[in-house]
Structure 1
């Protein structure tokens, strides 16, 4: 965790929006809590949350894509802990590239709420548990909703454009 620079994640007015939350079952104690925090953040923002579970983080992008086709924003949640092999690097790269591709291909905000950590203790400190330094489920949800509102603002601004097209 960087420990600095986080902008904070106060609730935004996202009434009427739907958040697709997809969470891995690996490290279920943490991902269950993160998914609950994502749902709570959506509710606090006036949005509706639909939660789906997948086996692991590698499966997140394909379900995120299906959700992006149906919902306003997507939040992908998982925990990947570094081990003794290169598997960590492959999983992290695959998930990051997949989620980025979904966001760009579908034109929808897709929050990357996958904790990529060296130790399970680092993950606990980011999972929004009591005493955690960060709450990634909440923060990722608010960030995705804020991005959706920014896109809507651009749509509204372009509808009022004056001049030559």
Structure 2
């Protein structure tokens, strides 16, 4: 996930071909896939099976709701601030070049933050959550458990009707 802003920082250029963006976009998507696989593993370890899918849904709602909105807002504010700062300096460039410089500055800040977080994760000695393997129930057991609960609820309804 850190490779994306680093590559974008060095790739941003007025004559950038579209094909140059394929690898950074692939790396970003690959990093997101690894991140959410790890999130799924940690949620499975921390929550009982009955609440696992609710926890996964809540993590998705939080990520796609307030977190993505805050990040978009921070980037738009940062771009506005950098653009105004670059225009106030009186740099001898037109608006499109000033926009490119502002985007490159934002990617530079993102690179520094991403590398710092990566170093913290690498250097901080965290006890792994998976100290023991929790047994995930087999799907046929889950089906039998749901069938048993459904039949017991249906039988209680039929007794009330009689």
Superposition TM-score, scaled by structure 1 size: 0.28
Higher relative contact order (CA 8 A, sep 6+): 2
Superposition TM-score, scaled by structure 2 size: 0.28
**Structure that is richer in strand per residue:** 1
